[in-house]
A and B are shown apart, each in its own frame.
Chain A
Amino acid sequence: MKKNRYILTAILGAGLLVSCSKSFLDQNPTNQVPEEQVFTTADNVETVINGTWSYAMETFFTFSVPGFTSILRASDAMGSDVAITTKYGLRDAYTFVEMVDNTKNRVSAYWTILYKVIDNANSIIARVDGVTGDEAKKARLKGQAYALRGWCYLTLASFYQFNPIVDPNAKAVPIYLTPTTPDTKGNPRATIKQVYDQAIADLVAAEPLVQGYSRGDASKKYKIDINVVEGLLARAYLQTQQWTLAQQKAAAARVGYPLMSPDDYLKGFNDVSNAEWIWGHPQTPNQSNASYNFHFLDVSSPGSYYYSFMADPFFKNFFDNGDVRTKLFDWDTLPSQEGYLRYKKFRFRDETALIGDFVLMRSGEMALIEAEAYARSGNTAAAAARLNELRTARSAYNYVPGAGNIIDTILVERRKELWGEGFSLSDIIRTNGTVVRKAFTAYNGTDSVINVPRGNGTFKQVKAKGHRTLRFPDGTPFVPQSKYYLFSIPLSEVQNNPNL
């Protein structure tokens, strides 16, 4: 009997020792991988390019900040041609109280997205040479990393300081070229010129590395190839007034991407397979966070939740009657949006899944960069030719040399062609220009009432609504070089970067 208890104790004691094996305390995550496991082969490094892209495009900060393309929304909300309604989303950016305020979520979100991409690009640039795999692939990955980094610095340069023509030595944002380590303290702000130089240097470094890379079918248009790099360079040169280079790169970027047909222009700007799109971000039902941007852009689909990107009624006056783009205008008579001028350029591609692809670069923009670069370097004939190439494609009247300043005409054409694609504020900053918003009222200051034809032949009288914010929040009129145009550096950066 006593023996039994000792035997039992011995058995339990043995079991006890078994449980103390060393590996018992080694646990690993299943949805994360250690760094050393990633940087082994070129194939694995490619996942960092993909993952970083997905992070940038699909991370929700709030529902009003769904990923990188939300930066483009803010750029338009802070311009002249979109009359943002009071619905949730971009309304505070529109009234110039959001991006100037370093406590706002949108301010820290944009900053976070851009620098997260920069750190991942730095990580690839620093480590891709050391992995196994095809040398050409390694070179291409490195090129894509350079391009991603250049793109982020170009974006930072576009919004965080005035153009170098104002003051090349104005402090802009920090530059990081190596991956962050636990000891990284934060870098000081570089000058706006240094940031542009870095962006251009990165893109130039990317050029030879992605040369010859073919990304495959249209569904891969989010991948960076030589056309994308040339297009980014064209933008960077345009912003830094290097006209010849801007024209050359824009021309190179659009090789293989003909201007779309008039019909395609009316299809909702939601499909990456559009012939004119050089760079875009596709959406699928199970990768659709970015699509939330369409809830702001899309003013006509029933599923659109905020439909706040209405057109300024004055914007309509820029167009000729025959222009295919005018077909997108429609005075709204629906409840809660009555009297707004809808510009139905953006529509969900799939109204059940509420998704739509995002355009990031297309030939129309490149044609206009070419036109502007020619115009600014004095070649009016070539400029008019490029401008009219686009106008013809849009079934609009051709520009006749002498009928108005060609540069102004091209800048207006950019507003017409690229409405809602994110160029409003960056163009204002680039040209040292100003926001222009007027009240859409009758000549005597009272409401402007218009008759809207309905499908059944009747008319409905509605009070037209245009811009609701006509001044800066401090009550002063819109002027060039206003602090309200610049994106502020988030408070968390100010508080935690001793070198800023």
Chain B
Amino acid sequence: MLVLLGPLTGFAQSRTVTGTVYSARDKEPLPGATIVVKGTSNGTATGPDGSFRLEVKDPAATTLVVTYVGMTPQEVGITATPIRVELTSSSKDIDEVVVIAYGTGKKNSLTGSVATIKGDALENRQISSVSRGLQGQVAGVQSTAQSGQPGTDATIRIRGVGSINASSDPLYVVDGAPYLGSINAINPSDIESISVLKDAASSALYGSRGANGVIIITTKKGKGQGTTINARVSQGYSKRAVDNYKTMSTDDYFRLYWEALRNTGITNGLSPAQAAASASSNVVGDLGINPYGTAYPQPVGTDGKLVQGAHTLWNDDWDKAMQRTGHRTQADLSISGTSEKSRYYIAGGYLDDQGIYLGSGFKRYTVRSNVELDAKKWLKVGLNLAGAHSDQQAPPSEDSRSDNYVNYGRLMPSFYPIYQRDPATGAYVHDAAGNRVFDYGDYRPSASNPNTNLVQTADIDKHNVLRDDISARVYGEATIWDQLKFKTTYSADYSQRMTHDYTNPTLGFDAPIGGTVARGSYRTFSWTWNNIFTYDKTFDEKHHISILAGQEAYKYKFTFLEGNRSGFSLPGLDEPADASVLLGFTGYTDATSISSYLSRVEYDYKGKYFFSGSLRRDGSSRFSPDRRWGTFWSIGGSWKMTEEAWLKSSNWLDLLTLRASYGAQGNDNLGSFYGYKALYVVNSNLGEGGTYRDTLANSNLKWETNLNLNVGVDWSMFNNRFGGTVEFFERKSKDLLYQQPLAPSTGYPSIARNIGALRNRGVDITLRGVPVNTRDFNWTIELNATHYKNVVTSLPQKEIISGTKKLMEGKSIYEFYLRQWAGVDEKTGAPLWYVIDANGNKTTTSNYAAGTLAYAGSALPDLYGGINNTFTYKGLSFSFMWAYSLGGKVLDNDYPFLMHTGNNFGRAWSAEMLNRWTPENTKTDVPALTTNNTNWTSASTRFLYDASYARLKTVNLSYQLPKALMDKAHLNGITVYVQGENLITIYNHKGMDPEQAVSGVTYYRYPAIKSVSAGINLSF
């Protein structure tokens, strides 16, 4: 059809006018400016690089009108040579161009809700993953970096939690296509801007996967004249952001363990005297070591006190020994610019981010080449190619296993020596070469990891993840006729993750079996091919219409391979080929695909009234053929009131815009790729093939839908000295994809169903102010805040209990449902929980299992956001940002490890245990000691803490050298800076890092780090 249409355009005799539109203020190109032949509807808009090309058919035309929202329109004459137009601000407001779904738009003309973060806000940050740069920056974005392991990503939630079992993660889009590579493969230095699409009007065009919001990352392009070279280097140091839990001294430990033994003896029917004697004689035997030396074989007397003269011969701090000061080095180099027919950005980066725990770190090498060519007058082609290689040392730190590097030192008490000691004197034992000998503690009880010493083996064993990421975006854009354009883009993301876990054959955990090695390969390859027609036209200088229609196909393929062996032939070797016993080898492939058709229409009248509508249909391989297609749509409108005659003359109001949008987006990501099929797992048994029934089919499974309402107002006043945005939002998720629990006696824990509905309702506020603005000194402040309530609005059954939460209509999905702590029995010292009968009457029980489960508050915060301050004085700039999260609760699962009553003897004790119940200390919330398990550390409100915190996320002091100096040195600019991250944390529950998972449950994670760095940026 297009081929037939084509010849129609060939008749008119026309001239071609080209040129570029810049902002007069900063000489940056202005994309999206409108160029119209005066007195006609013939016009065009500038591209992302500010350039335009217009065919003028009327031989009599002499003048072009160049307009841009917020800028004074300008008339220029038509010439044969390229025209350079500089527009000046109309002083009403400065509008910025933002990247939106499948294109760009002017911020103040959007009907939807889009927030942006400029690349400079990330440039100097000490972050290895972009996802960590969003916290506190944008209203509505909840970001928690729950692990301090270098190279890990933060969890992002945009405007609440949209799903229960299906993914609530936003969609990442890099340079126009959904990105499924590693987020940490993107060098933050290469980022031009990040757009966060929060509502339906802005993100519905990503219908199938936009339900949880979209984060669009746009990488840098060549701009400006000539070639610019940028180099930056920074060095930094890091340590733990908040102190660990306080633990008790060796003396206290021995006294208390004696008490635990004595109490148990009495429970077992011994007389107090017998029990005390037995305790005194067993303390050392149980703990396996006597830190008081052989001179005091029974350091704790039958009175429960340390015997006269006994003092510890050593006090080792394992937690400290497992940590170090992390060291971070980053270097980036980029070359960018434009020539007559091309724009380019070529960059390379190096990062070495050493973790604060032994054996942890992240090294990354990145290259990127973004090139765009004007191949023909009507054809533009481009290729963005990025490659990253990273080597992450990621020892176990989000796992309850005993070699969790974070837990290991924390749980080891001070009386176990790191190096072997003489049992009589406490002097170090030396080997033949005169070196200290690490103590592997074969005498330690199981709670303190006998036969291990991670302080030594952390440097020998390996937990490495090698990643190779290649991301390509290749596109061609053809102008077919007038303003009708066709753009085809093929995007491919390849990500290969290779793990290498090795434990050595001679020392530590796996020495008895000669060491182990596991190699895993996780390959993902995803591609998106989209073909989009756009048409953009202004009629009569009033009616501006923009139409987009196209098609998209997406496929994701994941291939997994893993093999492991044990029994190394010789020490010093660490590959599978070197080990003798094959333990296992497995692998499989998963694939999913989506096919889509999409369209969008935007219309505005005189830059005053804006309307948009979009429609998209997606088919997903995750659903059965009858159920796989879903339709997603949005409508939106905005009214720029300051363009109305009656407000235009206002001298204090610069901008006032009302916006509203509504639409539906989808979510197909239940985790399982084949939820609609009845499947048998394939396994094997002793060399024979095996299968077993694993999944119950639900052929009715279909898309989860998110209905998203956004109403907002943007304003700016007093010469843009004060402005902001207030938005109300309501996200209603229905047909939630949920693994509905079943009675396990049916043989299945759950079945995938579309059940129930969920609502997130809240408000985003962003306020910007410029309290001081003089020639040399400027202070800007920006505050953002989000409040939302998450409510389950419909469930097919009265309640669904899962883990520490219970779903019920009217409650949030992260509402804790726990046994209620009732304190300690003043008479016996036993832990108590409430038993609540049907009438709400409370009694207590010391049997944990008999305690009644009840609601105990939500993990979600009441308010979160950030406060940004920037002060500039001449070339000096000082800025800092606080991120805060107020309200919500966190269930600390880490702390109870240190709160045993003596049943896990040999494991460190928190200092709080000193407050245990005794006949003298009866009013306490720490029960009496006993070596029997009382279950008191099981999940209950006892360990539920307020999750509020505020964190000084970044502080930056930078100085840009005066221009006069630099001209002499033939430089464009030099900036030197010092930067701090997480320097101050205000929080409640000491010991636990307050940044934890959104669900409010801790999991022995690598804690957040604080860091200080200094750097220099050169430009020439």
Contacts and interface: CB of A to CB of B under 8 A. Distances in A.
Interface of A: 1-10, 12-13, 16, 19-20, 24-36, 38, 44, 46-48, 50-55, 86-88, 91-92, 95, 97, 100-103, 108, 111-112, 115-116, 118-120, 123, 173-174, 176, 179-182, 184-187, 219, 222, 282, 284-288, 302-303, 305-306, 308, 334-336, 338-339, 351-354, 439, 441, 445-447, 463, 468-471, 473-475, 488, 490-493, 495-497, 500
A92 B288 CA distance: 21
Contact of A6 (B3, B285, B849): B3
27 contacts: A1-B376, A2-B9, A6-B6, A9-B3, A19-B553, A25-B593, A28-B674, A29-B673, A30-B588, A46-B688, A48-B692, A50-B690, A51-B690, A51-B692, A86-B286, A91-B903, A115-B747, A182-B697, A282-B686, A287-B685, A287-B686, A339-B285, A446-B274, A447-B282, A468-B264, A469-B268, A496-B743
A24 B556 CA distance: 11
Contacts of A288: 583
B747 A119 contact: yes
A180 B748 CA distance: 9
Nearest to A33: B680
Given A25-B628, A35-B678, A38-B680, A97 B745 contact: no
B845 to A, nearest CB: 11
B460 interface: no
Given A2-B10, A29-B674, A86 B693 contact: no
Nearest to A98: B933
A86 B281 CA distance: 17
Given A48-B690, A115-B746, 9 more contacts: A4-B376, A13-B531, A19-B595, A24-B555, A51-B689, A86-B286, A102-B849, A222-B685, A473-B934
B694 interface: yes
Contact of A51 (B480, B589, B621, B681): B681
Interface stretch (B15-23, B334-342, B442-450, B788-796): B442-450
B571 interface: no
Given A12-B488, A184-B746, A336 B932 contact: no
Nearest to B747: A119
A34 B679 CA distance: 4
Nearest to A286: B584
Given A20-B551, A31-B681, A100-B849, A493 B745 contact: yes
B222 to A, nearest CB: 25
A281 B438 CA distance: 40
A32 B680 contact: yes
Contact of B442 (A29, A47, A52, A336): A336
A180 B2 CA distance: 56
Contacts of A491: 801
Nearest 8 CB-CB pairs, A to B?
Answer: A119-B747, A51-B690, A303-B512, A497-B743, A186-B743, A335-B443, A87-B446, A54-B685
B551 A16 contact: yes
Contacts of B376: 1, 4-5
B937 interface: no
A352 B628 contact: no
B932 A51 contact: no
A85 to B, nearest CB: 8
Contact of A120 (B6, B442, B692): B692
Contacts, number: 316
A268 B692 CA distance: 32
A116 B744 CA distance: 8
B120 interface: no
A491 B9 CA distance: 74
A180 B692 CA distance: 13
A5 to B, nearest CB: 5
Nearest to A21: B595
Given A6-B2, A86-B931, A38 B686 contact: no
B829 to A, nearest CB: 13
Contacts of A353: 513, 566-567, 581, 583
A112 B286 CA distance: 36
Interface string B690-711: 1111111110000000000000
A22 to B, nearest CB: 9
A27 B679 CA distance: 13
Contact of B592 (A2, A9, A27, A102): A27
Contacts of B903: 86, 91
Interface string B473-508: 000101110000010100000000000000000000
B281 A445 contact: no
Contacts of A439: 268-270
Contact of B684 (A54, A111, A185, A496): A54
B683 A55 contact: yes
Interface string B551-590: 1010100000000001100000000000011111100111
A303 B513 CA distance: 7
Nearest to B557: A27
Contacts of A441: 278
A38 B680 CA distance: 8
B583 A176 contact: no
B595 A24 contact: yes
A354 B595 CA distance: 50
B691 A470 contact: no
Nearest to B905: A86
Interface string B429-446: 000000000000011111
Contacts of B581: 285, 352-353
B996 to A, nearest CB: 22
Contact of B744 (A4, A31, A282, A490): A490
B445 to A, nearest CB: 6
Contacts of A475: 267
Given A16-B531, A33-B680, A50-B684, A493 B690 contact: no
Interface in B739-761: 741-749, 751
A209 to B, nearest CB: 20
A184 B447 CA distance: 43
A24 B593 contact: yes
A30 B278 CA distance: 60
Nearest to A352: B567
Interface in B327-361: none
A24 B747 contact: no
A54 B582 contact: no
Contacts of A46: 688
B233 to A, nearest CB: 44
Contacts of A306: 446
